[in-house]
Chain A
Amino acid sequence: MLEKPSQIRRAIAVLVVAGGVLLAGFTVFEQPLIGVGAYVVAVSGVVGARYRAEKPVFDERDEAISRDAAKWTLMLLGLGSAGVFPVLTAAWGVGLFEWQPWLVGVALFVAGLYLTYGIFLRVCALEVIGDEKFS
């Protein structure tokens, strides 16, 4: 069992999804401690599966795939937010819309996400170019 990297990858994917679903599920059913317990077991399984592998389980191709997925996520979220939030704000301005607490939470989350992205964009750019001026 779990001899091949592909099997370990599959097991890790299952554990990650199961951990998240169990945490959310038990939280919804007001059993937070069981949810957190299940999540911790799943995360421990992920760590264990990764460390018992003798061959590489994830490599640079996985990093490239992850970068692409992050790029598309940020782009779609950014484009969606750039369209949706100004429209909602305008609708609120003319009295056609009321901000709900959950939507305010979403808006603040998106703003926080892009603020974090902006900070890391700057940090990563500095790592690459340093303080050298462009010629």
Chain B
Amino acid sequence: MKNSLDEYRSDFDISQQELANYVEVTRQTINAIERDRYDPSVELVFKLAAFFECSVGDLFHPDVGLKKTISEVE
């Protein structure tokens, strides 16, 4: 899942290890998320967004591949 985690991290000048400590995961997990090699759980996604005080959509940009949205269905 595409994300802006590394940009947010560098904007706030914190290391992967520091971020990992704040959201209680390992540094390797933060690294794997930034490299799009691991899709975090919903809980961790919200934790990261809460930490950076942004919305989940600001941080993560999944390609959900929807054919239609609700307004197109109705």
Q: Which chain A residues have a beta carbon within 8 Å of chain B's beta carbons? A: 5-6, 55-62, 64
Contacts and interface: CB of A to CB of B under 8 A. Distances in A.
B28 A60 contact: no
Contacts of B25: 56, 59-61
A10 to B, nearest CB: 12
Please classify the interface of chain A as helix (H, G, I), strand (E, B), loop, or mixed, using the class held by over half of its residues.
helix
Please classify the interface of chain B as helix (H, G, I), strand (E, B), loop, or mixed, using the class held by over half of its residues.
helix
Contact of A61 (B21, B24, B28, B43): B28
A56 B28 contact: no
Contacts of A58: 26
B14 interface: no
A64 B24 contact: no
Interface residues of B, number: 14
B29 A60 contact: yes
Contacts of B50: none
A62 B40 CA distance: 11
Contacts of A6: 27-28
B51 interface: no
Interface in B37-51: 38, 40-41, 43-44
26 contacts: A5-B26, A5-B27, A6-B28, A55-B20, A56-B24, A56-B25, A56-B26, A57-B26, A58-B26, A59-B24, A59-B25, A59-B26, A59-B29, A60-B25, A60-B29, A60-B40, A60-B41, A60-B43, A61-B25, A61-B26, A61-B28, A61-B29, A61-B32, A61-B38, A62-B26, A64-B38
A5 B16 CA distance: 13
A110 to B, nearest CB: 32
